[in-house]
């Protein structure tokens, strides 16, 4: 049986090749190919090309696996392994040349995410994680690294000293609700950043660069790899109802997570009270 470590290694190899493609496309003219949920929810030709490459490489290596990608059709597999692919997480940053966009690839085994890679295309930073293998897979322990070095979440500090990251929905009406909630939250924390890539935001939690993350409207391919990496580094991640009617993802160090979730809820990012 293929180990979780082997799935992570394959994801990293594929992500590196996709990152090379995306990097080359950024050096030329970036073309918006289409829009999705709104006029600001864009797809570039590089998104599509990156996903085609990732699908081709994964299928060549593991033809019986399933694939769910942001830009392509769901491929049903037979092996029990499914790949969750975001070919460019942070497409608007990519369009503008802001160095915060990534290739994100995760592997699910029987519905559980067991391996993940997030590769920052602009900086080259590689975040890799996998769950522990059982004895039949070789018994390798769980691992989570940035550029090969172990990472861990920050020690918990009082809420007033926490630096948080978030994102805003593509729907303008939901953004207005989020902005009002942000106004209620920002005075209770150190500050809030909006960096533009869910996958990298979660990796920043994992490496201790920020104290927490929350965002409504992200999809499974956005947070599958980064969420696993954050959990392996000592974070807790939960999905709760968001004020806009879609899922709200909240992630932070496990110690102190309940206080973060309560603050996010009470500010109005969720219709559920934190009380």
Could you report the per-residue pLDDT of 160-183, keeping only the tens digit for each? Answer: 999 999 999 988 999 999 999 999
- 122 found inside a domain: yes
Phi, psi of 262 (to 5 degrees): -60, -45
Q: What is the pLDDT of residue 136?
A: 76
- Measured CA to CA, the distance from residue 78 to residue 81 in angstroms comes to 8
Pairing mode, if any, of strands 32-35 and 163-166? unpaired
| End position of a domain, from candidates 150, 182, 208 | 150
pTM above 0.85, yes or no: yes
Instruction: Specify whether 144 is located in the same domain as 27.
Output: yes
227/179 same-domain check = yes
Q: Is residue 274 part of a domain?
A: no
Across 215-231, average pLDDT: 97
Q: How many domains does the chain have?
A: 2
pLDDT confidence of residue 40 = 58
52-87 per-position pLDDT tens digit? 999 999 999 999 999 999 887 789 999 999 999 999
Are residues 166 and 253 both part of a single domain?
Answer: yes
Residue 270 makes CB contacts below 8 A (sequence gap 6+) with: 240, 241, 242, 243, 248, 264
According to the model, what pLDDT value does residue 29 have? 75
Residue 140 confidence (pLDDT): 85
Same-domain check for residues 203 and 99: no
* 213 pLDDT above the threshold of 90: yes
Domain limits for position 9: 4-150
Q: Give pLDDT tens digits for 91-124.
A: 999 999 999 999 999 999 999 999 999 999 999 9
CATH classification of the domain holding 129: 3.30.540.10
């Amino acid at each position: 049986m293929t180990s979780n470590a082997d799935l992570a290694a394959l994801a990293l190899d594929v992500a590196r090749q996709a990152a090379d493609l995306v990097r080359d496309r950024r050096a030329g003219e970036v073309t918006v190919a289409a829009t999705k949920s709104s006029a600001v929810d864009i797809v570039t030709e590089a998104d599509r090309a990156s996903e085609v490459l990732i699908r081709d490489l994964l299928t060549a290596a593991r033809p019986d696996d399933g694939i769910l990608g942001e830009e392509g059709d769901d491929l049903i597999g037979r092996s029990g392994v499914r790949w969750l692919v975001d070919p460019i997480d942070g497409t608007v940053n990519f369009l503008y040349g802001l160095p915060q966009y990534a290739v994100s690839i995760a592997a699910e085994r029987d519905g559980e995410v067991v391996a993940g890679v997030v590769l920052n295309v602009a900086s080259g930073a590689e975040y890799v994680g996998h769950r522990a293998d059982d004895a039949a897979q070789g018994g390798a322990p769980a691992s989570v690294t940035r550029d090969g070095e172990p990472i861990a979440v920050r020690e918990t500090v009082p809420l007033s000293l926490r630096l948080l990251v978030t994102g805003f929905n593509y729907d303008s009406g939901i953004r207005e609700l989020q902005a009002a909630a942000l106004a209620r939250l920002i005075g209770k924390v150190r500050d809030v950043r909006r960096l533009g890539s869910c996958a990298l935001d979660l990796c920043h939690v994992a490496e201790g660069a920020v104290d927490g993350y929350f965002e409504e409207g992200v999809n499974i391919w956005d947070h599958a790899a980064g969420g696993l990496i954050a959990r392996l580094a000592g974070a807790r991640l939960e999905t709760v109802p968001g004020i806009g009617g879609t899922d709200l993802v909240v992630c932070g160090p496990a110690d102190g997570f309940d206080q973060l979730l309560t603050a996010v809820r009470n500010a109005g990012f969720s219709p559920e009270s934190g009380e």
